[in-house]
């Protein structure tokens, strides 16, 4: 690895590597330029010089933002390795007793809720102020991709068993709920049997989302006929369909609380069997967490456990 990193450094500078890593992780030049405190034209020029030196296209534009090409992903991973070595020199000399310092990238699923994501950022800023934290809040499918490709140091996800190339620590099992718009003052049971969902029209995400795959797998095992009337690709559209009273959806607790004002929907825990997903924290195999990343990892783990204990994320600790 050191030979490949040395060869890369002979073509491009550490500064360019840092710029490139930031563009990949931010999925765009505008936000990366703001973080790096450089003008966007200057940043674009540095990346263009890298592509010219390496004789390869490193980035492509997509509707969801800038993503690395196959060659770009290799450059990203090698650049991250080299930057980790440079950033870890102080750790190697002074050990883990020094204050965590350096750049840490993490991925949190949108279903963890905006309050949790903000709490992670706020707590890390207060407890490890010298750590430059970058948070990708996205769909669990993209969280999995970010982890398996090594784009982030670690992440929280519900489908660790499906993802190759990661080491995962299961933290708790989250419960799933049927979310339905309130149409009358009539009280509804706290729980609902899974079989009863066969009588409901549902709106859910596509099968690229772990929630949809998990629910349909459980339906197959339990011989429950689900009626997914609407398949939508964004949480916002799913929320709108439910609010319009067109269908119910299946959600975890924080995502439902995040999406619907109190009193506008009913949340019934799905039982018989209890629908639940294992939430884990994971990092890429072969990339041990550096001192700053480990400090951030411990904070995220602590905040997850606190939320399960106080009921802000309904589930059971493992």
**Which pair of structure tokens corresponds to residue 171?**
């933290």
**Token pair in block for residue 219:** 């339906």
Task: Give the helix/strand (H/E) hosting 114.
Answer: helix 114-127
Contact between residue 28 and residue 44 where contact means Cβ atoms under 8 Å apart: no
305 close to 174: Cβ distance less than 8 angstroms: no
- Provide the pLDDT for residue 1: 46
Q: Which domains does the chain have, with CATH numbers?
A: 1-86 (1.10.10.10), 173-277 (3.40.190.290)
pTM above 0.85, yes or no: no
CA-based angle 216:218:220, to the nearest 5? 70
Which of 243, 185, 231 shows the shortest CA–CA distance to 205? 231
Nearest Cα to Cα of residue 153 among 44, 3, 297:
297
Spatial separation of the C-alpha atoms in residues 309 and 304, rounded to whole Å? 9
Q: Tell me how far the alpha carbon of residue 232 is from its chain's centroid.
A: 20
Instruction: Count Cα neighbours of 203 within 13 Å in the Cβ-side half-sphere.
Output: 21
pLDDT at position 155:
93
Residue 217: the pLDDT is 96
Per-residue pLDDT of the chain (318 residues; tens, 9 = 90+): 445 445 555 568 888 888 888 888 888 898 888 877 789 999 999 999 999 888 899 999 888 788 889 898 888 888 877 877 776 666 666 555 678 888 898 999 989 999 999 999 999 999 999 998 989 887 666 677 777 767 789 999 998 888 888 899 999 999 999 999 998 777 889 999 999 999 999 999 999 889 999 999 999 999 999 999 999 998 899 999 999 999 999 999 999 999 999 889 999 999 999 999 999 999 988 778 888 999 999 999 999 999 999 999 999 999
Instruction: Assign 3-class secondary structure to 80-97.
Output: HHHHHHHHHHHHHHHHHH
The predicted pLDDT at position 117 comes to 95
């Amino acid at each position: 690895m050191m030979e490949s990193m040395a060869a890369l450094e002979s073509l491009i500078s550490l500064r360019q590597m840092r710029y490139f890593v930031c563009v990949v992780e931010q999925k765009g030049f505008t936000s990366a330029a703001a973080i790096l405190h450089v003008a966007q034209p200057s940043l674009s020029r540095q990346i263009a010089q890298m592509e010219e030196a390496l004789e390869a296209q490193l980035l492509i534009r997509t509707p969801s933002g800038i993503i690395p090409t196959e060659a770009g992903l290799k450059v990203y991973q090698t650049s991250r390795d080299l930057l980790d070595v440079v950033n870890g020199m102080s750790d190697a000399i002074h050990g883990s007793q020094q204050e965590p310092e350096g750049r840490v990238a993490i991925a949190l699923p949108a279903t963890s809720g905006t309050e949790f994501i903000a709490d992670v950022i706020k707590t890390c800023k207060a407890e490890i102020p010298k750590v430059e934290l970058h948070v990708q809040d996205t769909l669990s499918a993209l969280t999995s991709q970010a982890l398996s490709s090594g784009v982030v140091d670690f992440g929280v996800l519900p489908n660790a068993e499906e993802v190759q190339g990661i080491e995962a620590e299961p933290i708790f099992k989250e419960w799933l709920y049927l979310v339905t718009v309130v149409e009358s003052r009539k009280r509804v049971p706290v729980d609902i049997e899974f079989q009863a969902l066969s009588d409901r029209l549902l709106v859910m995400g596509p099968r690229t989302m772990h929630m949809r795959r998990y629910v349909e797998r459980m339906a197959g095992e339990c011989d429950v006929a689900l009626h997914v009337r609407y398949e939508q690709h964004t949480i916002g559209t799913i929320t709108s369909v439910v609010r319009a009273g067109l269908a119910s959806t299946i959600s975890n607790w924080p995502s439902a609380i995040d999406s619907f004002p109190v009193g506008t929907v009913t949340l019934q825990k799905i039982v018989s069997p209890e629908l639940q997903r294992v939430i884990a924290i994971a990092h890429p195999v072969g990339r041990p967490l550096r001192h700053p990343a480990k400090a951030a990892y411990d904070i995220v783990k602590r905040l997850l456990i606190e939320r399960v204990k106080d009921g802000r994320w309904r589930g059971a600790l493992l």
